[in-house]
Amino acid sequence: MKFPFKNIALIGKHKDPEIAGPLLRLAAFLSSRDLNVVVGDSLTTEQIESSPYPAMSLDEMAHAVDLAIVIGGDGTMLNIARTLSPHQVPLVGVNRGRLGFLTDLTLDNMQDSIAAMLDGKFVTEQRLLLSARVLRDDVEVFSGLAFNEVAVHRNHISSMVEFEVRIDGEYLYNQRADGLIVATPTGSTAYAMSAGGPILHPSLDVLELVPVCPHTLSNRPIVVKSSSVLEILMHRSGDISVRFDSHTSYGLELHDKIIVARHPEPACLLHPVGHSYYHTLREKLLWNRTL
């Protein structure tokens, strides 16, 4: 991470017509502090043409900026993190979504909070990423990164998924289920939580495997060390895919093998001083309400 920050990217939620206003106001504020500002190319052509700030793609930003500020929801942040984190670009999130586990600033407080961060008043948090490869006849046919989870599941109404799981080469189980989720601690409050997995503090150096509707009464989620290499071997083909954070997917065939491992570079999130993960859980999961 390069600090003090000099080159800053502002990225808004794709196809959200209300993003341009706050994004360009923040850009003007940053420019007033003699910082170099670029904006994401998800703005409309008209908005980009009327903006004094150059537009860049995510791939271009990865090599050009010291900090990325994301205005949107957790889904927007997931997409940005997969592209920028491998290049060690820290991320700040401003929430315009429904939950905001990853985007913890608000439009009302973003300018004051970001001003403090530019002065060095922030908390740094490292979040692990997943890397997954699909092998077909021992040849890699697809690969991708995930911030929340890598999930194998059926696409529509069809037969159950049948697969074998190995951890570091050791056989764990065969499973018949609607799918399997391999989640990071960040993803433990997403799809994995909906499937009955435990909530993991993001500082934990672990992964969790959560079966989706397993056809057995004995199967339970399991937590393993993050250095584990997980292998999922497909024993039934059909309308089945592997998905990365619900953003990217690839259709699977019989005997395909999915290898999931920790990516060497973590995602770096910046929070205001005083940020509390437990406060976020209370607010977002409504634990602060009396029944």
pLDDT value, residue 238 = 76
The model's pLDDT over 43-86, given as tens digits with 9 standing for 90+, comes to 544 565 567 889 899 999 999 999 999 998 888 899 899 999 99
Q: Based on the residue annotation, tell me whether 34 is a catalytic residue of this protein.
A: no
Q: Which residue has the tokens 């997980």?
A: 230
The model's pLDDT over 182-224, given as tens digits with 9 standing for 90+, comes to 999 999 999 999 999 999 999 999 999 999 999 988 889 999 9
For the chain, first and last CA: distance in Å?
Answer: 44
pLDDT band at 132 (very low <50, low <70, confident <90, very high): very high
Give the C-alpha separation, 154 to 156, whole Å.
6
CATH 2.60.200.30 boundaries in the chain? 130-262
Superfamily of domain 130-262: Probable inorganic polyphosphate/atp-NAD kinase; domain 2 (2.60.200.30)
pLDDT value, residue 1 = 84
Amino acid 289 reads R
CATH fold of 7-128+266-284 reads: Rossmann fold (3.40.50)
Instruction: Answer left, alpha or beta for residue 117, where phi above 0 means left and psi between -120 and 50 means alpha.
Output: alpha
pTM of the model: 0.92
The model's pLDDT over 84-127, given as tens digits with 9 standing for 90+, comes to 999 999 999 998 867 778 888 988 899 999 999 999 999 999 99
CATH 3.40.50.10330 boundaries in the chain? 7-128+266-284
SS3 for 198?
coil
Given the residues 16, 66, 74, 138, the one annotated as active site: 74
Give the C-alpha separation, 286 to 275, whole Å.
18
